[in-house]
Amino acid sequence: MKTQNRKLKHFTGVLTAVVIALTILLSASACSEGGAGRGAEGKAIGLGHGNCVTEVTVIVDGFGQPKRVIFDEIFPVGNVCTNTALGSAAETVTVGEGDKAKKYYKYLHIGDKYFVADEYGVYSQMGGGDIEDLADYCTTGEGVQWYYDSFIANKMFVCAVATEGTEIDGVKLADKYKFNTANGSMRKRYSRYWSSSGTGNIGQISGLGFVGNMDMLENYLLTYGFDALDDVDSAITLPNKDGNDTNFNIIGGITTGATLSGDTGKYLKVAKAAYENALQALRQ
């Protein structure tokens, strides 16, 4: 009887040890899976090509490794000119003559502000506002944020007629799927901007265009990470510059497929900020 009791106690002890070991193993596995599965997203904006607003979204996994990098740009309001798709009811201002003439819609409504274009195509705020030149204002940090927020909130319109604080037959510009500019959507990724046709640009010769170049930068960052961007300006060697005899960007010593030139640094600085915002969100 005593022998059976000893055997039973021994078996119970072994079984308990096995259960404890399995519990620890499963807990460790769950923590590992939970860490890898929990991710975060960071977004950043900045002044990009011309008066465009560059937007970059970076998604990281639970260990801070980038899983998605998405570049886009939002056109400035000047690109809504000469677009007959908005209809003939809206009043326009013609700037220049002959083949170089451009038509600007006279009245704009952006955010909580109204603007009117003068004979030179310069938009100033109506109603005694402080913004004398909309294009210049949108190159400032405050202006970039305001313009971006207005776009995201779908508060961007061309007005057929506008008086102080009133719009008539406003046409929304912010919908990314509508052809609201001379190039299509206000978002470059959904527009016809910089298509692969033509022969006057390296990017066009290679067939990349805007979307293709952004994809190349995204692929680089997903493959090699953001470490080289600690000092963006010194990390980039532009096509056919400083010993780079290729038509491609070299970033951190790695030849990419991107054919961008002067604006590459702008895009990557915004991407770096978006990545840092994603890491900060992950820590919270």
Q: Quick check: is 10 in a domain?
A: no
- CB-based contact 237:250 (threshold 8 Å): yes
- 138 in a structural domain: yes
Residue 105 lies in a domain: yes
pLDDT score of 141: 95
Contact 263, 48 (CB under 8 A): yes
Long-range contacts of 45-49 (CB under 8 A, 24+ apart): 45/144, 45/145, 45/148, 45/270, 46/144, 46/266, 46/269, 46/270, 46/273, 47/139, 47/144, 47/266, 48/73, 48/263, 48/266, 48/267, 48/270, 49/73, 49/263, 49/266
The confidence score (pLDDT) of residue 91 equals 80
Q: What does the pLDDT read at residue 191?
A: 82
User: How many Cβ atoms sit within 10 Å of the Cβ of residue 78?
Assistant: 19
Which of 139, 156, 182 is the last residue in one of the domains?
A: 182
Q: Decide: 120 and 69 in contact? Cβ < 8 Å.
A: no
202 and 65 housed in the same domain: yes
Tell me what pLDDT residue 192 has. 80
Domain-located, residue 191: no
H or E element in which residue 68 lies: strand 66-74
Asked if residue 16 belongs to a domain, the reply is: no
pLDDT in tens, the chain (284 residues): 545 555 445 545 544 443 334 333 333 333 333 344 589 999 999 999 988 999 999 999 999 999 999 999 998 876 666 554 555 567 888 888 988 888 888 888 888 898 999 999 899 998 888 999 999 999 999 999 999 999 898 888 877 776 655 555 566 665 555 656 667 788 888 888 886 554 444 444 456 888 899 999 999 999 999 999 999 999 999 988 888 888 899 999 999 989 888 899 999 999 999 999 999 999 98
Q: Quick check: is 120 in a domain? A: yes
Distance CA 217, CA 93 (A): 39
Query: 142 and 209 share a domain?
Result: no
Which residue among 152, 182, 212 closes a domain? 182
Nearest to residue 191, comparing CAs of 49, 91, 42, 43? 49
Q: What is the total count of domains within the chain?
A: 2
- C-alpha 211/C-alpha 189 separation (Å) is 6
Q: Which of 192, 231, 234, 183 is nearest to 211 (CA)?
A: 192
Q: Could you tell me if residue 63 is inside a domain?
A: yes
Structural domain span for residue 96: 77-182
pTM over 0.85: no
The dihedral over CA atoms of 128, 130, 131, 136, expressed in degrees to the nearest 10, equals 150
What does the alpha-carbon distance between residue 180 and residue 165 come to, in Å, rounded to a whole number?
23
Quote the longest CA-to-CA distance of the chain.
112
Choose one of 182, 213, 246: the last residue of a domain. Answer: 182
Is residue 210 a part of any domain in this protein? yes
